[in-house]
Amino acid sequence: MSTNLFKLLVLDIHWKYAPPPISGFTFIRSKLFLNTLGISFHSPISNKGVKTDNLIYLVSRYNKSMENPALICNREDDCAILFARAPVPGRVKTRFLPHLTPVQSSELHLACVKDALAMLATTLPNAAQWLFWSEQTEINLPLPGGFRTAIQVGVNLGERMANAFQRAFSSGARNVVLFGSDSPTLPPDLAAQAFAALDHSDLVLGPTEDGGYYLIGSRRFDPQIFSGVGWSTPRAFEQTLANARRLNFSVSLLDRWYDLDEWKDIERLLTLRCQGETQPENIEKFLKQLELQQNV
């Protein structure tokens, strides 16, 4: 590492605790700090002729690089984001009551999240991988692959997804796909197809049988895509698609799949198990435990 590069790195560390000069005092303090590094305040420090008086501004901009916690991927990365509610009993999978207790519903939700994480980690190893919780949670969930966690921001689902898209694209992402955690049995091929579709389409949607969608992906974004959408209604997919067409987005549609939202969906999985169809690992464990409890 060159001496000047080392000095720049030290200066960057300093700048995390000393913001860009906005007053005479800060300006003088910055000059003194540069002098302690042996850098003349008016001398060039690179072969491109960048001067240290310009460096004050450049360093403040540099802090928007990958060391900035707001950035979630490298430039030109694909970015896969799993959206999930925090597994709080009584606040997740409430449509399963009274067939399941609040604790069982929370356990089912967590099983869905774990299986979705495992599938995405295996299917999309080259993508930046994120789990966006709906709120802070104390659960210590082992994360597979390269998954990291963040918190959703926004009043409703549309705002939360819009903020996630904008954060990823602001980080330099090439393509971004948001996955829901209610479809733990989603075939891996559909997750891979979502990114492939963005090679030739602006938007990709994976519709669910109940009128929603299990994923939405984009290579460019406009928050109006979520304008007026009725979340958790049978028209969410239809309204989002209409918005996309109004915005002149080219759209690819994936095969329809199903969410795990109601008791009839559990009955469906139990029937499939009886027919010999293996379910994802954590859903399988949940179903076995449920059968044992029902047989007691």
CA–CA separation, 130 and 147 (whole Å)? 5
Same domain, 242 and 286: no
Total structural domains in the chain?
3
| 170, part of any domain | yes
Same domain, 247 and 145: yes
Same domain, 104 and 192: yes
Q: Does the pLDDT value for residue 87 go beyond 90?
A: yes
pLDDT recorded at residue 57: 36
Same domain, 99 and 212: yes
CA distances from 55 to 11, 13, 51, 137, 295 (A): 10, 14, 6, 40, 71
Same domain, 93 and 212: yes
| 48, part of any domain | yes
Same domain, 86 and 190: yes
| 176, part of any domain | yes
Same domain, 134 and 28: no
| 288, part of any domain | yes
| 71, part of any domain | no
Chain CA centroid to CA 82, Å? 5
Q: What does the H/E/C string look like for 64-110?
A: CCCCCCCCCCCCCCEEEEEEECCCCCCCCCHHHCCCCCHHHHHHHHH
Q: Which of 38, 62, 86 is the last residue of a domain?
A: 62
pLDDT recorded at residue 138: 85
Q: What is the mean pLDDT of residues 220-247?
A: 97
Q: What is the mean pLDDT of residues 42-57?
A: 40
Compare 138 and 195 and report the one with higher pLDDT.
195
Judge contact between 165 and 178, C-beta under 8 A.
Answer: yes
Same domain, 25 and 138: no
Q: Which domain holds residue 291?
A: 264-295
Quick: pLDDT tens for 202-211.
999 999 999 9
Judge contact between 152 and 164, C-beta under 8 A.
Answer: yes
Same domain, 128 and 233: yes
Quick: pLDDT tens for 54-66.
444 333 333 333 3
Compare 66 and 181 and report the one with higher pLDDT.
181
SS3 212: coil
pLDDT recorded at residue 191: 98
Judge contact between 206 and 231, C-beta under 8 A.
Answer: no
| 47, part of any domain | yes
- Tokens 């450049």 correspond to what residue? 58
